[in-house]
Amino acid sequence: MGIFEGKKGLILGVANDRSIAWYIAKFIMDQGGVCGFTHLADADEAKQKKNRHRVEKCVEQYPEQTKFLVPLDAQSDQSIAEVMATAKKEFGEIDFLLHSIAFAKLDDLKVDSIATSRDGFKLAMDISAYSLLAVCNAAKDILKKAKVDDKREEVLEAGASVLTLTYYGGERIVPGYNVMGICKAALESCMKYAAYDLGIDGIRVNALSAGPLKTLAGSAAGVGEFQPVYKQMAPLQRIVTHEEVGRTGGFLLSTMSDGITAETVHVDGGYSEMGTPGRLLDKYRA
């Protein structure tokens, strides 16, 4: 019996079969969970159809555990509300919610952070950071609340779990990550405040910070270029895998992590804890 047996929830933001969100969703469904998915909405009908097709290719592997696939415009409160209405109709309440939504224009990613356009900054922040608050607010009535025995101060049944995806560029300067790093810093702050707001109902909110995996979003921000350095600096001396990140994401969305909230959990082979280049220095020693 899987750890998600009898559980249901939302997966927001799968782009294709290399998305971290997809590997988390795969783990959940392999463990018995049922999911509702969204795909990127677009005013251009052909582009939206293409976005949907990418996600359909993923979820067709799990026909019995995929409840629905609908468009989501993260900048539209109405679109977010429609997704939550669909989830309420199909599930009643949900046990987990994965937020994997981020975007910045290439023109803004490719310039120095100080050269980010004003409109580009607003757009990136709206989609990449504010959307977590908007989603949590819209979902608060369908997120499962914890059942607590007040007399015994005992949790009888864990509440829902929300997870967002971040990156080390939100904590430290990562040249090339630029405005997206600023957005991730804001996202992590949004996560903490959302954890406080929802914590009164026993609902948890966390962030997962993966190493430089090759994904559609990561490629746009040049994350793949960092892999050789990560490999040599990280204590594990390797790049983590999509599967490893998927398992950790699943853990954070499951009741097995019911005492964890307002945390950013790193899955990066230890790279984020290094204070020096470590073994990379061996290349420069005589």
Amino acid occupying residue 101:
I
Where helices occur in 60-177 by DSSP H, the ranges are: 77-91, 106-109, 118-125, 131-139
What is the rounded CA–CA span in Å between residue 145 and residue 139? Answer: 12
What distances in angstroms separate CA 48 from CA 15, 55, 93, 170, 193, one per listed residue?
12, 11, 28, 30, 33
Q: What does the alpha-carbon distance between residue 241 and residue 225 come to, in Å, rounded to a whole number?
A: 16
Asked if 158 and 257 count as a contact pair (C-beta separation under 8 A), the reply is: no
With CA atoms as reference, report the closest residue to 177 among 220, 215, 230.
Answer: 220
DSSP states of 240-262 as a string? --HHHHHHHHHHHHSGGGTT--S
Active site positions, annotated = 167, 177
